[in-house]
Structure 1
Amino acid sequence: MKLNKQIAYVGCLGMIGIITTEFGIIGILPQIALYYKITIDKAAYLLSAFALVIACTGPFITLLLSSGFDRKKIMLTTIFIFLFSTVVSAFSPPFWLLMIVRMLPAFLQPVYIATAISAAVASGKKSEENQLMGIVLGGIALAMVTTVPFATYLSSLFSWQSSFYVQTIVSAVALIAIFKIMPSRDVPEKKSYGSQIKILKDSSFILSTAMNFFMIASWFSTYSYFADYLGRTRKLDMATVSYMLLLFGVVGVFSNWLSGKMLTKSITKTVAFFLSGTVIIPLILMYSGDNIWITIIVIIIWGFFYAPCFLNASAYMISAAPKSLEFANSLATSFGNLGVFLGTAAGGWIISHSTINNIPWAGMFFGFLALIMVAWRSILEKSKRKLMIIDL
């Protein structure tokens, strides 16, 4: 196996640990709400607070640590903090302490993602960039098909703390793999802050960032309440919800692979295609009824369109800032998590003021905004190309 593939797969394994910790909470929110005697929207703070920390601190910490520091040490430190967080969480501490230890690893999550992607990409050819990035970010889809549903299933058999046991094991395995396989003294060249920050003046990059923000908000306005939504609207028990999460993830592995292939041909068309799901899925969810077989079909379609969202967001933003890979990736992660926060908050607000049945409409609204950003950037770039031709 080539070295670049090894580095990419190690980064992928770390991603599985990170995503299991961040999104493994989704399947057990109803149990946590019951245990701590709080409402489901308050329990969702465990997800939204994690995302908000990433959104607020990610770019700044990434600017400080993404260049000039040993990549292996950064990745080891990040996964160790994730491991510490899950161990403490497994002891079911008071809710305020659970919130704090959940937020701790969020400070370094964007740094890990940016570092893992840049390490994989740096070891390969230019033509392999999207493929190697797809392997690293494929950890998201793999977590959705393996550890996240498995953790939810165990919690349905035993207790919600079981989910954190799974998260602990996955983080420990990732820590060992990074220590054993990642090359030491892999220190990227130090880049000036100014050379990276200047991408914030680029209108195409700004529109790409806005697309990422609205797209993730669209998906997570409903997905954050996946277990509670299926339980209330489709009358499914926790064990069945875990099977639905598994199915969701299985389809996601395929669509993530497909998206990686499509991105090599056209980034804009690929992003627009999968974005269309943010409009299609809410309509299907609202009018599909609660028949179990129809629900299975809905989950398949939902998982297909949702899974590549993080890969597509990163590729779309990097395409507007190819010379600032790490910083662009950190902004993709930060604004994506800001979208998680907004989507979760919007869904929670609808639940507390209306009914959980209505949360897909929020997803459709944010999805339309994301599609507008894609169209706007395309029009802007066509205008720029025409002006360049005229100048020539």
Structure 2
Amino acid sequence: MKKYAYIGCLGFIAVITTEFGVIGILPQIAEHYQIGIDKAGWLLSAFALIIALTGPFMTLLMSGFDRRKVMLAAIAVFLLTAVVSAMSPPFWLLMLVRILPAFLQPVYIATALSVAVSGSDKKESNKLMGIVFIGVALAMVTTVPFATWLASVWVWESSFAVQAAVSIMALMVIYFQLPSMPVNGKKSYKSELKILSKPIFIISTAMNFFMITAWFSTYSYFADYLNKAKGMDGTMISYMLFLFGIIGVFSNWIAGKMLSWSVSKTTALFLSGTVIIPFLLYFSGDSMPANIIVIAVWGFLYSPSFQNASTYMISSVPDSLEFANSLATSFGNLGVTLGTALGGWMIVTKGASYNPWIGFVFGILAFCMIILRSILEKRAEKKKIIIPCR
């Protein structure tokens, strides 16, 4: 039902604003707390690491609860985080409250996707999931750049006020527009964990991990990269985030349509950005017009990454949508953690201009996984062919 998909999309905007809203203000946070940019980056990577370590288990644990209550509880925790963070607490407390919503983020995403496709035709499921995932791009075009711009002209704490406002809106819409949705029963751990023994699913998981690592080695430090490598100021960076997001909304819509046609080809097409973008960023140099064009291409190819990764993994085990998606979220965020850590290390040791080449390496690894899965699927198809006896 499209209404439920749009409700899930709004909540996703709140989730993404909280998780990635710090990207544009990491330099200001580092300056405020007198710490290195790599240490400030842990506000993003620690969040992602918690998701990676606990996501699947939290999803299974919450699978027996009313879906509406689960979504409300998750967004309420995100709201609490935003309110406390806006008070500029000590760095250890800021880190702590950043970690709390991470436990429920994959639960929210898996539940929202499940609610969106409930009762729908299988042909429509990718489109409905695409609507939910558009929340990522919408956050990138609205709340994330707005929060970055507001922090650049006022104080960095105002960024968290934006996050709080979006979370309140999502809470109200879920509370008033989404009916009670009890589940028939809690899924067993044994029935769900069996997908971990399937080679194609494992390879798909590795592709997800490598792809997200590739993108986030640079994207996690989007503001720092554009400042140090391209000489942009805070205001211009907020404009670039806005452009990035505008393109991303269109890109997610296109990807949702294309995934209904071919999951593997669509994933490969958008993954190509991890290999192409480093060269484009290198050759664009200090030219502002060229950099604007490259950032637009970057936004187009990057934005559907989580949607593509989840759909790619789910397509290998279509009967385990919620658990497969929680694993996609977990390993995707493990990629965020590694990408952020490697990106921070590269900035400190070599310089921000080298970060895109980390993405190049992991992008190649992701392509290898797509090729390997294709080979295994063709072998499996051949085994299914039965030669009739004459």
Q: d(CA) in 1 for partners of 2:65 and 2:259? A: 30
Q: d(CA) in 2 for partners of 1:179 and 1:308? A: 28
Q: d(CA) in 2 for partners of 1:99 and 1:303? A: 28
Verify: 1:139 aligned to 2:135, yes or no.
yes
Mapping of residues 235-384 of structure 1, within 5 Å: 235-384=231-380
Q: d(CA) in 2 for partners of 1:219 and 1:133? A: 21
Q: Name the residue aligned to 1:47.
A: 44
Report if aligned partners of 1:69, 1:188 keep a CA contact under 8 Å in 2: no
**Residues 143-171 of structure 1: CA deviation (Å, up to 9, x unaligned):** 00100000001001101101001000000
Corresponding residue to 1:64 among 61, 65, 80: 61
Corresponding residue to 2:222 among 226, 241, 244: 226
Q: Which one-letter code corresponds to 2:128 in the other structure?
A: L
**Residues 284-342 of structure 1: CA deviation (Å, up to 9, x unaligned):** 11221011111100110000000000010111000001111110010000000000001
TM-score (ref. length: structure 1): 0.98
Report if aligned partners of 1:205, 1:321 keep a CA contact under 8 Å in 2: yes
Q: Name the residue aligned to 1:178.
A: 174
Q: Name the residue aligned to 2:25.
A: 28
Q: Name the residue aligned to 1:106.
A: 102
Which stretches of structure 1, 4 residues or more, deviate above 3 A after TM superposition? none
Q: d(CA) in 2 for partners of 1:286 and 1:97? A: 39
* RMSD of aligned alpha carbons: 0.9
Q: Name the residue aligned to 2:14.
A: 17
Verify: 1:88 aligned to 2:84, yes or no.
yes
Equivalent pairs, count: 388
Secondary structure of the residue aligned to 1:320 is: coil
Report if aligned partners of 1:70, 1:188 keep a CA contact under 8 Å in 2: no
- Which 5+ residue runs of structure 1 have no aligned equivalent? none
Report if aligned partners of 1:288, 1:294 keep a CA contact under 8 Å in 2: yes
Q: d(CA) in 1 for partners of 2:348 and 2:238? A: 25
Deviation at 1:391, TM superposition (A): 6.5
Deviation at 1:127, TM superposition (A): 1.4
Q: d(CA) in 2 for partners of 1:203 and 1:169? A: 43
Q: Which one-letter code corresponds to 1:167 in the other structure?
A: Q
Secondary structure of the residue aligned to 2:330 is: helix
Deviation at 1:390, TM superposition (A): 4.7
Secondary structure of the residue aligned to 2:385 is: helix
Q: Which one-letter code corresponds to 2:142 in the other structure?
A: T
- Which 5+ residue runs of structure 2 have no aligned equivalent? none
Secondary structure of the residue aligned to 1:92 is: coil
Q: Percent identity?
A: 64
Secondary structure of the residue aligned to 1:183 is: coil
**Residues 248-306 of structure 1: CA deviation (Å, up to 9, x unaligned):** 00000111000000001100100011111110011111221011111100110000000
**Residues 147-202 of structure 1: CA deviation (Å, up to 9, x unaligned):** 00000010011011010010000000000010011111432543221111100001
Q: Which moved more, 1:196-205 or 1:349-358?
A: 349-358
